[in-house]
Structure 1
Amino acid sequence: MHTSDGGQQHPIGLYFKIWGLLFVLSALSYMVDYAGLEGMLRWTLIILFMLLKAGLIVAVFMHMMWERLALIYAILLPPLALLVLVALMAMESDYTQLLRLTHFVTGN
């Protein structure tokens, strides 16, 4: 369907499929709690489902799937770089905590 303002119209069926997929991912996320999973498996699954849902929302409902590659890089690369830096800081903090416990708690 062509509009007079030159915009692009996406089929409504695509949105219904994405809504259905979001519903399934949400149900799977709730099933993690219902199944009684614990520890790292539980949190890994919950975060995985959360990231998948966020990615679908950004890609389809915020129309990132149809944007230029340069705009996608400009929006997605800075948060990705921050996540990498946070991961590096988390690894460094474990080393620092271990070092402090080794040298200050034992009295060496």
Structure 2
Amino acid sequence: MSADHAQQHPISLYFKVWGLLFLLSFFSYMVDYLQLQGPLRWTLVLIFMLLKAGLILSVFMHVKWERLALQLLLFVPLFAIVVFIALMAVEGDYTHALRLLYFSQQ
């Protein structure tokens, strides 16, 4: 690809994404500052982390402008991993509950 055909993105896009990353980081720090605990804390931390990673990946690593096949190649395995982790967490809670039920009766 020659320099004449190179795609240029407006610098304002990068500043907007940088500002959004700053805002998401602020919210992430507020979770600690407000001393949130339990599942709410970890849910918020994970949401902010995934949003920031998605922004960085899509804009700064230029995945947003790639073909759909490459986007799917990157995101489908990640989605599958998240689903498998969720399934393992549910199964772990179920196993833990069963052990508490059966071992507490003895």
> TM > 0.5 between the two?
yes
Q: 1:58 to 1:31 in 2, by over 3 A?
A: same
Alignment partner, residue 102 of structure 1? 101
- RCO comparison, higher one (Cα < 8 Å, 6+): 2
Q: For residue 92 of structure 1, what is the aligned residue in structure 2?
A: 91
For the aligned residues, what is the CA RMSD? Answer: 1.7
Aligned residues: 105
Unaligned runs of 5+ in 1: none
Match of 1:83 in 2: 82
User: Structure 2 length as normaliser, TM-score?
Assistant: 0.86
Corresponding residue for residue 59 of structure 2: 60
Q: Distance in 1 between matches of 2:8 and 2:86?
A: 40
* Aligned counterparts of 1:43 and 1:92: Cα–Cα separation in 2: 19
What's the CA shift string for 1:57-81, capped at 9, x where partnerless? 0110111111111111111001111
- Go from structure 1 to structure 2 and tell me whether the alpha carbon gap of 1:38 and 1:103 turns closer, same or farther (over 3 Å shift): closer
1:49 aligned partner, one-letter code: F
- What one-letter code is carried by the residue in structure 2 that aligns with 1:40? P
Q: Determine helix, strand or coil for the equivalent of 1:98.
A: helix
Once the two structures are TM-superposed, the CA of residue 5 in structure 1 deviates from its matched residue by 5.7
The aligned counterpart of 2:50 is 51
In 1, Cα distance between equivalents of 2:54 and 2:98: 38
Give 3-state SS (helix, strand or coil) of 1:73's partner.
helix
Looking at structure 2, the residues matched to 36 and 98 of structure 1 have their Cα atoms a distance apart, in angstroms, of 28
Q: How far apart, CA to CA, are the structure 1 residues paired with 2:92 and 2:34? A: 33
More helix by share: 2
Separation in 1, partners of 2:50, 2:21: 11
Aligned to 2:25: 26
TM-score by length of 1: 0.85
In the superposition, relative to structure 1, how do residues 40 and 17 fare at CA in structure 2: closer, same or farther (>3 Å)?
same
3-state SS of paired residue (1:42):
helix
Which consecutive residues of structure 2, in runs of 5 or more, have no partner in the other structure? none
